[in-house]
């Protein structure tokens, strides 16, 4: 299975700041990468797919980049509602696999 | 509005089976694939398998073959997952999640709508 390594596992930031989350695949996955957000008490939400395509409804302050093995989720000018858990997922190869998650907390 | 409503928490004995449900609304059930996923505390999310709402065709993660059985009931737009021969390793939260279809292209294994999760605890 393709291993997905996410970093950092924990990130503290203030509203208005910009943050980046890294996701590295154990082999090339082209751009078959998605990012999800989970907030307490809410369902998982698809933010980005195909590495950089924003899902309908995802605010433009979110962006995804990368291809091959290295990917980045960037959130510019954090809003209070952005704090939560973020996961990357590869869907290049079956079974699709997820990173361990990054917890973004309010500093 | 797309909604996936999962059945409630289950407490089951080792060796028993459990059937989880995922009742959908707000979209044409038969046009989409439904995935099921497992998340143990502190562990990565694992993909169990998926099923096509139109004909019940399935695909499984090799790891979960023999453990999970996926079915659908088109008449009620509901997906089901049976878990058998339960052990403590099956204690987890299980999610159903719809796979993304933009009307032209199926984005295999990209999940654009999730259920709230159902907790399964295996204990005697």
Q: What is the pLDDT along chain A (107 residues), one digit of tens a residue?
A: 999 999 999 999 999 999 999 999 999 999 999 999 999 889 999 999 999 999 999 999 999 999 999 999 999 999 999 999 999 999 999 999 999 999 999 98
CA dihedral A76, A64, B107, B79 (to 10 degrees): -50
Which residue from A44, A46, A98 is facing B44, i.e. has the nearest CB? A98
Predicted confidence (pLDDT) per residue in B51-100, tens digit: 999 999 999 999 999 999 999 999 999 999 999 999 999 999 999 999 99
B46: chain A residues, CB-CB within 8 Å: 95, 97-98
CA distance B76 to A34: 30
Q: In this structure, are residues A30 and A90 in contact, taking their beta carbons and an 8 Å threshold? A: no
CA distance B99 to B111: 4
CA distances, B49 to each of A25, A67, B5, B115 (Å): 21, 26, 18, 15
Q: In this structure, are residues B64 and B84 in contact, taking their beta carbons and an 8 Å threshold? A: no
Cross-chain residue pair B45–A46, CB shorter than 8 Å: no
In 3D space, the residue among B101, B79, B81, B64 whose CA is nearest the CA of residue A46 turns out to be B101
């Amino acid at each position: 299975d393709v291993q997905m390594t996410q970093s950092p596992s924990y990130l503290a930031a203030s509203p208005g700041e910009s943050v980046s989350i890294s996701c590295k695949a154990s082999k090339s996955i082209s751009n078959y990468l998605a990012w999800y957000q989970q907030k307490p008490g809410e369902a998982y939400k698809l933010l980005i797919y195909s590495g950089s395509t924003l899902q309908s409804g995802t605010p433009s302050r979110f962006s995804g980049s990368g291809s091959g093995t290295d990917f980045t989720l960037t959130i510019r000018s954090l809003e209070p509602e952005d704090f939560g858990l973020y996961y990357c997922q590869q869907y290049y190869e079956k079974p699709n696999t997820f990173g361990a998650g990054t917890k973004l907390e309010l500093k | 509005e797309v909604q996936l409503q999962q059945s409630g928490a289950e407490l089951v004995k080792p060796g028993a089976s459990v059937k989880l449900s995922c009742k959908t609304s707000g979209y044409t059930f038969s046009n989409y694939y439904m995935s099921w996923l497992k998340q143990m505390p502190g562990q990565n999310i694992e993909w169990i398998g998926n099923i096509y709402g139109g004909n019940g065709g399935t695909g499984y993660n090799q790891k979960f073959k023999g453990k999970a059985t996926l079915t659908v009931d088109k008449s009620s737009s509901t997906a089901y997952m049976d878990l058998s021969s339960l052990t403590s390793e099956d204690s987890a939260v299980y999610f159903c999640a719809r796979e993304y279809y933009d009307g032209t292209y199926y984005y295999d294994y990209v999940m654009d709508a999730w259920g709230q999760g159902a907790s399964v605890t295996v204990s005697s």
